A and B are shown apart, each in its own frame.
Chain A
Amino acid sequence: MSAPTEHRELNAWLRQLRWSLAALPEEDRREIVAELESHLHDRIDAGMSVPHALASLGSPSDCARPYVEQYGAARALGSGKVLELLPLVGRRSARDLAAIATLVLCGLLWVLPLALAATSVMKLVSPKVAGLWRANGNYMLGVIDDPARGTELLGPWLFPLAIVAVLLAVMASRWLLLRVARRLFPQQ
């Protein structure tokens, strides 16, 4: 391979690396690219061919992945938001039992709050048929076909109860996800 071709190949690799690091702040991206460029030039100056030097680092996207993951983890842990922590823990669920258990537990934590929230919305639309019902000795949360067959137990208390349940679910899942994410991603 001729020197200009190798030079083009090197620049293309660095350009792709820059793109792959797009999620990072500009200063960090520039620094990472400069460091890897310095590494590549050191390898080439020591006699390694450009294709071999590039192959030893892997593809630009493979090279960028650990940095992007580090930033994603740091951002999610810093924000403490359930919606950012969930995918972070989810990424580890393929190889970590605690991550799977956390996701399952979070899912269970949200069953009742979501049912209460959905019933509250239905109650706004159809107040006479939505609620917590007792009919024939059974309890049912949701919409009943014939309100005359049962007794609605919560009335307007359904709304504050749904809000409290959702808030408790947010707090509990946030606490759980933060604990597990800190263990899965130490030093972030």
Chain B
Amino acid sequence: MSPRPPDNRRAQQSKGFAEMAILCVLRSRPHYGLELLERINADGGLELADGTIYPLLHRLERSGQVASQWATDTPNGRPRKYYTLTALGRSELSTMLAEWRALRDHIDRLAEGDLP
């Protein structure tokens, strides 16, 4: 089997981290979809495609981790859907971050050859 091209590997990794990144960004204040996408890609170093984030937000909303509200704050009066983090989302994020940090520590130790 040929190794996965770097772009494809990066895209798969980005998808895996996307939910955690969304919840992290929403901790500070409500965001709309495109704003979230740009923050995650710019500050989070992920490479999410435009069409990827909305189904994820939809799933997070259905599972009660985020809530949404339409607001008309654009100069041309066009509505945008804003997402906020719920109490359940905050608790899920804490769990995800704890798991992520533990995993990252293990991978770091593996990469540095510290494990027996």
0/1 interface trace, chain B 15-53, chain A, CB 8 Å (1 if under):
000000000000000001110000000000000011100
Interface residues of A in 32-48 (CB under 8 A from B): 32, 34-36, 38-39, 41-43, 45
Residue B100 at the A interface, CB < 8 A? no
B55 pairs with A56, CB closer than 8 A:
no
User: How many A residues are at the interface, by size bracket?
Assistant: 20 to 34
Residue A187 at the B interface, CB < 8 A? yes
A sample of 6 more A-B contacts (CB under 8 A), given A36-B54, A42-B34, is: A39-B34, A45-B76, A58-B49, A58-B51, A187-B60, A188-B63
Q: Give me the interface of A with B, judged by CB distance under 8 Å.
A: 31-32, 34-36, 38-39, 41-43, 45, 56-58, 62-63, 66-67, 70, 74, 187-188
B54 pairs with A39, CB closer than 8 A:
yes
Chain A, interface SS category? helix
A187 pairs with B54, CB closer than 8 A:
no
B32 CB contacts on chain A under 8 angstroms: 38
Once bound together, how far apart are the Cα atoms of A70 and B81, in whole Å? 20
A61 to chain B, nearest CB (A): 11
Residue B90 at the A interface, CB < 8 A? no
Contact of B79 among A34, A36, A58, A74 (CB under 8 A): A34
A66 pairs with B55, CB closer than 8 A:
yes
Once bound together, how far apart are the Cα atoms of A66 and B51, in whole Å? 10
A25 to chain B, nearest CB (A): 12
B62 pairs with A74, CB closer than 8 A:
yes
Residue B10 at the A interface, CB < 8 A? no
Contact of A70 among B55, B79, B80 (CB under 8 A): B55
B50 pairs with A39, CB closer than 8 A:
yes
Once bound together, how far apart are the Cα atoms of A38 and B35, in whole Å? 12
A55 to chain B, nearest CB (A): 9
